[in-house]
Amino acid sequence: MYKIILLPHNQLIITRGQATLLDILVANQVPIGHSCAGDAVCGWCKVRVVSGLETCTPPTGDEQYLRRTRKMADDERLACQIWVESDMTISTDYW
Protein backbone atom coordinates (compact mmCIF):
# COMPACT_ATOMS: atom_id res chain seq x y z
CA MET A 1 0.00 0.00 0.00
CA TYR A 2 1.22 3.47 -0.88
CA LYS A 3 0.40 6.87 0.57
CA ILE A 4 -0.26 9.89 -1.62
CA ILE A 5 -0.43 13.21 0.23
CA LEU A 6 -2.12 16.12 -1.54
CA LEU A 7 -0.88 19.55 -0.52
CA PRO A 8 -1.79 22.11 0.70
CA HIS A 9 -4.71 20.38 2.43
CA ASN A 10 -2.76 17.30 3.59
CA GLN A 11 -5.42 15.04 2.10
CA LEU A 12 -4.27 11.41 2.29
CA ILE A 13 -5.01 8.72 -0.26
CA ILE A 14 -4.03 5.11 0.43
CA THR A 15 -3.67 3.04 -2.72
CA ARG A 16 -2.38 -0.29 -3.93
CA GLY A 17 -0.82 1.48 -6.89
CA GLN A 18 -1.04 -0.55 -10.11
CA ALA A 19 -2.54 2.50 -11.83
CA THR A 20 -1.54 5.94 -12.99
CA LEU A 21 -1.65 8.83 -10.58
CA LEU A 22 -4.39 10.38 -12.72
CA ASP A 23 -6.56 7.26 -12.45
CA ILE A 24 -6.05 7.11 -8.68
CA LEU A 25 -6.92 10.79 -8.23
CA VAL A 26 -10.06 10.48 -10.37
CA ALA A 27 -11.14 7.31 -8.53
CA ASN A 28 -10.81 9.23 -5.25
CA GLN A 29 -12.84 12.18 -6.59
CA VAL A 30 -9.89 14.59 -6.48
CA PRO A 31 -10.38 17.46 -8.94
CA ILE A 32 -7.68 17.08 -11.58
CA GLY A 33 -7.77 18.49 -15.07
CA HIS A 34 -7.66 16.05 -17.98
CA SER A 35 -9.15 15.88 -21.43
CA CYS A 36 -6.96 13.50 -23.43
CA ALA A 37 -7.79 10.25 -21.62
CA GLY A 38 -4.26 9.95 -20.27
CA ASP A 39 -2.43 10.17 -23.60
CA ALA A 40 0.03 12.92 -22.52
CA VAL A 41 -1.45 15.38 -25.02
CA CYS A 42 -3.38 18.05 -23.10
CA GLY A 43 -1.03 18.67 -20.16
CA TRP A 44 -3.91 19.61 -17.86
CA CYS A 45 -3.01 16.93 -15.30
CA LYS A 46 0.32 18.58 -14.47
CA VAL A 47 1.28 18.14 -10.82
CA ARG A 48 4.30 19.17 -8.76
CA VAL A 49 5.93 16.17 -7.10
CA VAL A 50 7.06 17.52 -3.73
CA SER A 51 8.49 14.20 -2.54
CA GLY A 52 8.88 10.85 -4.23
CA LEU A 53 10.05 12.18 -7.59
CA GLU A 54 13.09 9.91 -7.57
CA THR A 55 10.86 6.83 -7.48
CA CYS A 56 8.42 7.96 -10.19
CA THR A 57 8.39 6.07 -13.43
CA PRO A 58 10.56 7.88 -16.00
CA PRO A 59 8.85 10.32 -18.39
CA THR A 60 7.70 8.76 -21.64
CA GLY A 61 8.73 10.28 -24.96
CA ASP A 62 5.34 11.98 -25.25
CA GLU A 63 5.66 13.45 -21.76
CA GLN A 64 9.22 14.63 -22.45
CA TYR A 65 7.99 16.44 -25.56
CA LEU A 66 5.15 18.13 -23.66
CA ARG A 67 7.47 19.05 -20.78
CA ARG A 68 9.86 20.73 -23.22
CA THR A 69 7.22 22.60 -25.20
CA ARG A 70 5.36 23.76 -22.06
CA LYS A 71 8.61 24.60 -20.22
CA MET A 72 7.63 22.52 -17.19
CA ALA A 73 9.87 22.62 -14.12
CA ASP A 74 12.00 19.60 -13.19
CA ASP A 75 9.62 18.65 -10.38
CA GLU A 76 6.48 18.88 -12.55
CA ARG A 77 5.07 15.75 -14.12
CA LEU A 78 1.89 14.63 -15.85
CA ALA A 79 -0.30 12.59 -13.51
CA CYS A 80 -1.41 10.47 -16.46
CA GLN A 81 2.15 9.28 -17.04
CA ILE A 82 3.19 8.40 -13.47
CA TRP A 83 2.56 4.82 -12.36
CA VAL A 84 2.31 4.91 -8.59
CA GLU A 85 4.99 2.60 -7.18
CA SER A 86 5.87 4.36 -3.91
CA ASP A 87 4.69 6.99 -1.43
CA MET A 88 4.55 10.53 -2.78
CA THR A 89 3.49 14.05 -1.94
CA ILE A 90 2.04 16.19 -4.71
CA SER A 91 0.52 19.60 -5.29
CA THR A 92 -0.93 21.57 -8.17
CA ASP A 93 -1.83 25.19 -8.82
CA TYR A 94 -5.61 24.73 -8.66
CA TRP A 95 -6.14 22.93 -5.35
Look at residue 10 and tell me whether its pLDDT is greater than 90.
yes
> Structural domain of residue 17, as residue ranges?
2-91
What is the pLDDT at residue 76?
Answer: 97
Tell me which residue of 43, 24, 23 sits closest to 33, measured CA to CA: 43
CATH number at residue 16: 3.10.20.30
Region of residue 29 (left: phi > 0; alpha: psi -120 to 50; beta: else): left
Residue 44 has pLDDT above 80, yes or no: yes
The count of structural domains within the chain is 1
pLDDT of 41 = 86
- Residue 17 pLDDT > 80: yes
% the chain with pLDDT above 70: 99
The average pLDDT across 64-69 equals 95
What does each C-alpha distance from 93 to 16, 35, 58 come to in angstroms? 26, 17, 22
**Residue 38 pLDDT more than 90?**
no
pLDDT of residue 93: 83
